[in-house]
Amino acid sequence: MSLQPDTLKSLVRAAAEQVIANAAELTALDQAIGDGDHGANMKRGFEAVLGKLDAIGAQSLDEALKTIGKTLVMTVGGASGPLYGSFFMAAGDALGRSKKLPDDLAEVFGSGVGAVSARGRSQPGEKTMLDVLVPVLETLKAEAGRPDLIERVRSTASEAVARTVPMQATKGRASYLGARSIGHVDPGARSSCVLLHAVCNTLEARQ
């Protein structure tokens, strides 16, 4: 993907602004099955990312991803900070290892997903952000090159969030609730969807 110089900044700005705009919803979701800090955690992290927007926009995409990852690790906190941080740092590392976009998009995204899984010792089906990230990875693998890939990623993410409702959490704070975690959207799945939708909407508007 030959990103226009201002496209990287637009993508990062949109992702951060959407997380911030949806912070109250993320908090409400985490109040139901966690400790109610996911919105505040993500807002703090993405405000820090926004504060570095000019520097990030001047970097190559792989370096920008790593800067975002490090910033999130330092500022988000909770379980989700190291997990999102790992995602972006691993994706940046993969891209730096001579991977090219869009051809290697699934591989780069997959490196991020693999890092979340390794760090969280988690798999899909455990009611976490992986329940959005893994289905999106599968869509990227299966449907690469399709003209409607952006729309397919967006709908995959939305449908995957809904599928976390009947799941019982077996990782993270929500797992302390046992069967009482059933019947709620997972906050991290929802924040992953917010981020993915922001990226999809921005790329689509620039096509």
Q: Which residues bind ligand ADP (CB under 6 A)?
A: 30, 34-35, 37-38, 41, 78-80, 83, 116, 120, 122, 128-130, 171-173, 186-189
Residue 34 in contact with Mg ion, rule: CB under 5 A: yes
Q: Which is nearer to Mg ion, 38 or 127 (CB)?
A: 38
Q: Which is nearer to ligand ADP, 139 or 164 (CB)?
A: 164
Binder of residue 186, out of ligand ADP, Mg ion, none (CB less than 5 to 8 A by kind) = ligand ADP
Q: How many Å apart are CA 183 and CA 179, to the nearest integer? A: 9
Taking the complex as a whole, how short is the minimal distance between the CB of residue 33 and Mg ion, in angstroms? 9
Taking the complex as a whole, how short is the minimal distance between the CB of residue 35 and ligand ADP, in angstroms? 5
Binder of residue 133, out of ligand ADP, Mg ion, none (CB less than 5 to 8 A by kind) = none
8 A C-beta contact, residue 162 and residue 195: no
Binding residue for Mg ion, selected from 37, 93, 104, 107, defined by CB under 5 A? 37
Site for Mg ion in 70-109 (CB under 5 A): none
Q: How many Å apart are CA 151 and CA 157, to the nearest integer? A: 10
Q: How many Å apart are CA 142 and CA 145, to the nearest integer? A: 9
Binder of residue 11, out of ligand ADP, Mg ion, none (CB less than 5 to 8 A by kind) = none
8 A C-beta contact, residue 188 and residue 83: yes
The CB density around residue 73, as the number of other CB atoms within 10 Å, is 18
Binding residue for Mg ion, selected from 6, 17, 35, 103, defined by CB under 5 A? 35
Chain-centroid distance, C-alpha 200: 12
Binding residue for Mg ion, selected from 13, 38, 66, 163, defined by CB under 5 A? 38
Q: Which is nearer to Mg ion, 121 or 145 (CB)?
A: 121
Task: Tokens for 10, please give them.
Answer: 């637009």
Q: What are phi and psi of 171, to 5 degrees?
A: -135, 155
8 A C-beta contact, residue 57 and residue 6: yes
Q: Which is nearer to Mg ion, 130 or 140 (CB)?
A: 130
Q: Is 201 helix (H, G, I), strand (E, B) or coil?
A: helix
Chain-centroid distance, C-alpha 27: 16
Name the site residues for Mg ion (rule: CB under 5 A).
Answer: 30, 34-35, 37-38
